[in-house]
Homo-oligomer: A and B are copies of this chain.
Amino acid sequence: MNDNTKLDHNLKLKLLEAFIFASPEPVKFNLLKQFEDNEDNLIKLLEELDLKFQNFGFNLININNTYCFRTSEEVSSLLNIEQEASKQLSRAATETLGIIAYHQPITRSQIEEIRGVSLSKGTLDILFEIGWVKPGKRLELPGRPSTWVTTNKFLDHFGLSNVNQLPGLDELKEAGLLNFDNKVFKDPSELTNLNNND
Protein backbone atom coordinates (compact mmCIF):
# COMPACT_ATOMS: atom_id res chain seq x y z
CA MET A 1 0.00 0.00 0.00
CA ASN A 2 2.97 2.31 -0.51
CA ASP A 3 1.61 3.82 -3.63
CA ASN A 4 -1.66 4.79 -2.14
CA THR A 5 -1.62 8.21 -3.76
CA LYS A 6 -1.97 6.46 -7.07
CA LEU A 7 -5.08 4.58 -6.11
CA ASP A 8 -8.03 6.25 -7.61
CA HIS A 9 -10.82 7.72 -5.60
CA ASN A 10 -13.32 4.93 -6.14
CA LEU A 11 -10.88 2.25 -5.28
CA LYS A 12 -10.08 4.01 -2.03
CA LEU A 13 -13.74 4.09 -1.17
CA LYS A 14 -14.00 0.38 -1.89
CA LEU A 15 -10.98 -0.40 0.22
CA LEU A 16 -12.34 1.65 3.11
CA GLU A 17 -15.76 0.07 3.02
CA ALA A 18 -14.33 -3.44 2.65
CA PHE A 19 -11.94 -2.96 5.51
CA ILE A 20 -14.53 -1.50 7.88
CA PHE A 21 -17.06 -4.10 6.78
CA ALA A 22 -14.73 -7.02 7.46
CA SER A 23 -13.40 -5.82 10.79
CA PRO A 24 -14.96 -7.48 13.79
CA GLU A 25 -14.67 -4.33 15.92
CA PRO A 26 -15.07 -0.62 15.13
CA VAL A 27 -11.95 0.56 13.27
CA LYS A 28 -9.86 3.45 14.55
CA PHE A 29 -9.43 6.45 12.28
CA ASN A 30 -5.66 6.06 12.47
CA LEU A 31 -5.85 2.55 11.10
CA LEU A 32 -7.72 3.86 8.07
CA LYS A 33 -4.86 6.19 7.20
CA GLN A 34 -3.21 3.28 5.43
CA PHE A 35 -5.65 3.90 2.59
CA GLU A 36 -5.32 7.69 2.54
CA ASP A 37 -2.61 9.36 4.55
CA ASN A 38 -3.94 12.87 4.14
CA GLU A 39 -6.31 13.27 7.07
CA ASP A 40 -8.54 15.86 5.44
CA ASN A 41 -8.97 13.69 2.37
CA LEU A 42 -9.65 10.68 4.55
CA ILE A 43 -12.37 12.57 6.41
CA LYS A 44 -13.91 13.54 3.07
CA LEU A 45 -13.82 9.93 1.92
CA LEU A 46 -15.51 8.79 5.12
CA GLU A 47 -18.17 11.47 4.71
CA GLU A 48 -18.78 10.22 1.22
CA LEU A 49 -19.02 6.68 2.49
CA ASP A 50 -21.47 7.78 5.17
CA LEU A 51 -23.64 9.33 2.47
CA LYS A 52 -23.36 6.30 0.20
CA PHE A 53 -24.82 4.01 2.86
CA GLN A 54 -27.33 6.51 4.13
CA ASN A 55 -30.33 4.76 2.69
CA PHE A 56 -29.15 1.19 3.15
CA GLY A 57 -30.23 -1.55 5.53
CA PHE A 58 -27.02 -0.91 7.41
CA ASN A 59 -25.20 2.40 7.88
CA LEU A 60 -21.75 3.72 8.59
CA ILE A 61 -21.51 4.70 12.26
CA ASN A 62 -18.91 6.90 13.94
CA ILE A 63 -18.31 6.17 17.62
CA ASN A 64 -15.68 8.43 19.18
CA ASN A 65 -13.66 8.46 15.99
CA THR A 66 -13.96 4.73 15.34
CA TYR A 67 -15.95 3.45 12.38
CA CYS A 68 -18.26 0.48 11.85
CA PHE A 69 -21.41 -0.65 10.10
CA ARG A 70 -24.59 -1.18 12.12
CA THR A 71 -28.08 -2.08 10.92
CA SER A 72 -30.19 1.00 10.27
CA GLU A 73 -32.82 2.19 12.66
CA GLU A 74 -35.51 1.87 10.01
CA VAL A 75 -35.14 -1.88 9.58
CA SER A 76 -33.72 -2.99 12.93
CA SER A 77 -37.06 -3.45 14.61
CA LEU A 78 -38.28 -5.58 11.72
CA LEU A 79 -35.38 -8.00 11.89
CA ASN A 80 -35.78 -11.11 13.93
CA ILE A 81 -32.29 -11.90 15.03
CA GLU A 82 -30.74 -12.98 18.29
CA GLN A 83 -27.08 -12.03 18.18
CA GLU A 84 -25.94 -12.18 21.73
CA ALA A 85 -27.79 -12.74 24.95
CA SER A 86 -27.54 -9.71 27.15
CA LYS A 87 -27.08 -10.06 30.84
CA GLN A 88 -29.82 -8.90 33.13
CA LEU A 89 -28.30 -6.13 35.21
CA SER A 90 -29.15 -5.83 38.89
CA ARG A 91 -30.76 -2.63 40.08
CA ALA A 92 -27.56 -1.57 41.81
CA ALA A 93 -25.51 -2.22 38.65
CA THR A 94 -28.01 -0.34 36.47
CA GLU A 95 -27.97 2.70 38.74
CA THR A 96 -24.20 2.58 38.99
CA LEU A 97 -23.89 2.44 35.19
CA GLY A 98 -26.21 5.43 34.85
CA ILE A 99 -24.31 7.41 37.45
CA ILE A 100 -20.95 6.66 35.81
CA ALA A 101 -22.31 7.51 32.36
CA TYR A 102 -23.70 10.91 33.34
CA HIS A 103 -21.14 11.84 35.97
CA GLN A 104 -17.91 10.60 34.48
CA PRO A 105 -15.15 10.65 35.55
CA ILE A 106 -16.41 9.66 38.97
CA THR A 107 -14.81 7.95 41.94
CA ARG A 108 -16.22 5.00 43.73
CA SER A 109 -16.96 7.00 46.86
CA GLN A 110 -18.80 9.64 44.83
CA ILE A 111 -21.03 6.91 43.42
CA GLU A 112 -21.67 5.72 46.94
CA GLU A 113 -22.50 9.25 48.00
CA ILE A 114 -25.19 9.62 45.36
CA ARG A 115 -26.73 6.28 46.13
CA GLY A 116 -26.41 6.82 49.88
CA VAL A 117 -25.12 3.31 50.32
CA SER A 118 -21.83 1.52 49.86
CA LEU A 119 -21.31 -0.36 46.62
CA SER A 120 -21.40 -4.06 47.27
CA LYS A 121 -18.76 -6.35 45.90
CA GLY A 122 -19.40 -7.29 42.35
CA THR A 123 -21.41 -4.29 41.24
CA LEU A 124 -18.61 -2.43 39.49
CA ASP A 125 -17.03 -5.78 38.71
CA ILE A 126 -19.95 -6.78 36.48
CA LEU A 127 -19.90 -3.51 34.54
CA PHE A 128 -16.11 -3.78 34.18
CA GLU A 129 -16.40 -7.39 33.01
CA ILE A 130 -19.00 -6.58 30.36
CA GLY A 131 -16.58 -3.92 29.19
CA TRP A 132 -18.90 -0.95 29.63
CA VAL A 133 -16.75 0.85 32.19
CA LYS A 134 -13.02 1.19 32.71
CA PRO A 135 -10.76 3.09 35.07
CA GLY A 136 -10.18 6.70 34.05
CA LYS A 137 -7.68 9.23 35.26
CA ARG A 138 -6.77 9.47 38.90
CA LEU A 139 -7.91 12.63 40.60
CA GLU A 140 -5.27 15.05 41.81
CA LEU A 141 -6.53 14.73 45.35
CA PRO A 142 -4.89 13.19 48.37
CA GLY A 143 -4.81 9.45 47.90
CA ARG A 144 -5.07 9.97 44.13
CA PRO A 145 -8.43 8.16 43.94
CA SER A 146 -9.09 6.35 40.69
CA THR A 147 -12.12 7.30 38.64
CA TRP A 148 -14.42 5.27 36.40
CA VAL A 149 -15.53 6.19 32.90
CA THR A 150 -17.60 4.51 30.19
CA THR A 151 -16.01 2.82 27.17
CA ASN A 152 -16.59 2.91 23.42
CA LYS A 153 -18.18 -0.50 23.80
CA PHE A 154 -20.77 1.11 26.04
CA LEU A 155 -21.46 3.80 23.43
CA ASP A 156 -21.67 1.18 20.67
CA HIS A 157 -24.03 -0.96 22.71
CA PHE A 158 -26.46 1.85 23.35
CA GLY A 159 -26.16 3.39 19.91
CA LEU A 160 -24.41 6.60 21.00
CA SER A 161 -21.63 8.40 19.12
CA ASN A 162 -20.25 10.03 22.25
CA VAL A 163 -21.28 10.67 25.83
CA ASN A 164 -22.60 14.14 25.07
CA GLN A 165 -25.44 12.40 23.26
CA LEU A 166 -26.78 10.93 26.49
CA PRO A 167 -30.38 12.07 26.77
CA GLY A 168 -31.08 14.51 29.58
CA LEU A 169 -27.44 15.42 30.18
CA ASP A 170 -27.96 19.15 29.66
CA GLU A 171 -30.97 19.27 31.95
CA LEU A 172 -28.95 17.47 34.58
CA LYS A 173 -26.17 20.04 34.32
CA GLU A 174 -28.59 22.93 34.43
CA ALA A 175 -30.34 21.59 37.49
CA GLY A 176 -26.95 21.56 39.23
CA LEU A 177 -27.28 17.86 39.88
CA LEU A 178 -23.77 17.10 38.76
CA ASN A 179 -22.23 18.99 41.66
CA PHE A 180 -20.87 17.47 44.79
CA ASP A 181 -20.84 20.58 47.03
CA ASN A 182 -24.21 19.93 48.51
CA LYS A 183 -23.87 16.88 50.58
CA VAL A 184 -25.13 15.59 53.88
CA PHE A 185 -22.64 12.81 54.14
CA LYS A 186 -18.96 13.34 54.01
CA ASP A 187 -17.03 11.70 51.26
CA PRO A 188 -15.55 8.62 52.98
CA SER A 189 -12.30 9.14 51.10
CA GLU A 190 -11.76 12.36 53.02
CA LEU A 191 -11.52 10.35 56.17
CA THR A 192 -9.09 7.90 54.67
CA ASN A 193 -6.87 10.71 53.49
CA LEU A 194 -6.79 12.23 56.92
CA ASN A 195 -5.64 8.93 58.18
CA ASN A 196 -2.94 8.57 55.61
CA ASN A 197 -1.50 11.91 56.60
CA ASP A 198 -1.09 10.74 60.16
Q: Chain B residues near A135 (CB, 8 Å)?
A: 160, 165-167, 171
Q: Chain B residues near A165 (CB, 8 Å)?
A: 135-138, 146
Report if A79-B176 is in contact (Cβ < 8 Å); known contacts: A136-B165, A165-B135.
no
Encode A30-65 as 1/0 by CB contact (under 8 A) with B: 000010000000000000000000011110000000
Copy number of this protein in the oligomer? 2
Interface membership of A5, Cβ < 8 A = no
Query: Contact between B108 and A57 (Cβ–Cβ < 8 Å)?
Result: no
Query: Contact between B174 and A124 (Cβ–Cβ < 8 Å)?
Result: yes
Query: Contact between A125 and B176 (Cβ–Cβ < 8 Å)?
Result: yes
Encode A1-39 as 1/0 by CB contact (under 8 A) with B: 100000000010111111101111000000000100000
Instruction: Taking A14-B74, A22-B81 as given, write out 16 further A-B residue pairs in contact, using a Cβ cutoff of 8 Å, ordered by the A residue number.
Output: A13-B57, A15-B57, A15-B79, A16-B57, A18-B57, A18-B58, A18-B71, A21-B57, A21-B69, A22-B58, A23-B84, A24-B84, A34-B80, A124-B176, A135-B165, A146-B165
* 9 pairs from A and B in contact (CB 8 Å cutoff): A15-B75, A15-B79, A16-B57, A18-B56, A22-B71, A124-B175, A128-B175, A138-B164, A146-B168
